[in-house]
Amino acid sequence: MFKGSMVAIVTPFKNGKVDEQALGDLIEFHIKSGTDVIVPCGTTGESATLSHEEHHRVVEFTVKTVNKRVPVVAGAGSNSTSETLELTKYAQKAGANGVLLITPYYNKPTQEGLYQHFKKVAGTVDIPIILYNVPGRTSINMLPATVARLREVRNIVGIKEATGDLKQVSELIRLCGRDFDVISGDDFTTLPLLAIGGVGAISVTANIIPADAAGMFDAFFAGKMEEALKLHYKMEPLHSLMFIETNPIPVKTALAFMGRISEEFRLPLCAMADANKEKLKKALKDYGLIQI
């Protein structure tokens, strides 16, 4: 249902508020550059520090600005099932094409708890759901056997897999079948994931180089493996630097260097260390993204 280059788009701030002008400009930048799906209010969108009102507004604004040119998959997950339901219902009402639901964090539910959580949400709404497994953020790893159970729920259509563990991804695809969308949440291993049956990526790095990110998918799906490999290795240094500090600090700093947003975060996230900023600036210059 969802495939290709999907950007986990940042939420720009200005003077403590969501900068809708900058967000709108970023959306246009992505659509013109070939991004296949826009994903607002994910981890990279600093959803953890958005108020419910802000979260609703970002989703609503994104859907309206995109205006059906590409799909919008809205982040709507929480560690509370009731809160997840509220955010998911709003995303559906706002016109999102799907929702991205993270595994509940901090609570540390069992595999059965994860199954019951997602089954409850999916049974209450009528919108395509992409599960999101990122143990590095949540301390919970949703196992392939659990995903295979959830795969039987009608509107659970895929998973964003951010373990970086290709053995786990391979087992997941084997159990769930090729008609279940397995999407990379780990920019470093996106191309290998495609090779074993994945269909796309919800990417951090695509925020700054959307044309190259989309180009790698276009090449892969067209059977042009050498071209896909070339783009994979071209982007690899930027993938590394996007995680030199906690995401989304580096990617928002890069976009600020590029003149696309203000360099502003919500505490407890803060500005990059000066030494890391210099490394990032050099990489952006080497890539041709900035002149300074």
What is the rounded distance in angstroms from the CA atom of residue 67 to the CA atom of residue 56? Answer: 17
What is the rounded distance in angstroms from the CA atom of residue 252 to the CA atom of residue 242? Answer: 9
Q: What integer pLDDT is reported at residue 292 of this predicted model?
A: 74
Residue with the two structure tokens 């940042």: 10
What is the distance in angstroms between the CA of the first residue and the CA of the last residue of the chain? 41
Residue among 3, 160, 252, 277 flagged as catalytic: 160
Active site residue 93: no
pLDDT in tens, the chain (292 residues): 899 999 999 999 999 999 999 999 999 999 999 999 999 999 999 999 999 999 999 999 999 999 999 999 999 999 999 999 999 999 999 999 999 999 999 999 999 999 999 999 999 999 999 999 999 999 999 999 999 999 999 999 999 999 999 999 999 999 999 899 999 999 999 999 999 999 999 999 999 999 999 999 999 999 999 999 999 999 999 999 999 999 999 999 999 999 999 999 999 999 999 999 999 999 999 999 998 7
SS3 content of the chain, % helix, strand, coil (to 5): 50, 15, 35
Q: What integer pLDDT is reported at residue 68 of this predicted model?
A: 97
Residue among 90, 132, 252, 277 flagged as catalytic: 132
Q: What integer pLDDT is reported at residue 58 of this predicted model?
A: 98
What is the rounded distance in angstroms from the CA atom of residue 200 to the CA atom of residue 225? Answer: 15
Which domains can be identified in the chain, with CATH numbers? 4-225 (3.20.20.70)
What is the rounded distance in angstroms from the CA atom of residue 232 to the CA atom of residue 215? Answer: 10
Q: What integer pLDDT is reported at residue 146 of this predicted model?
A: 98
Active site residue 160: yes
Among 61, 42, 43, which residue's Cα sits nearest to residue 53? 61
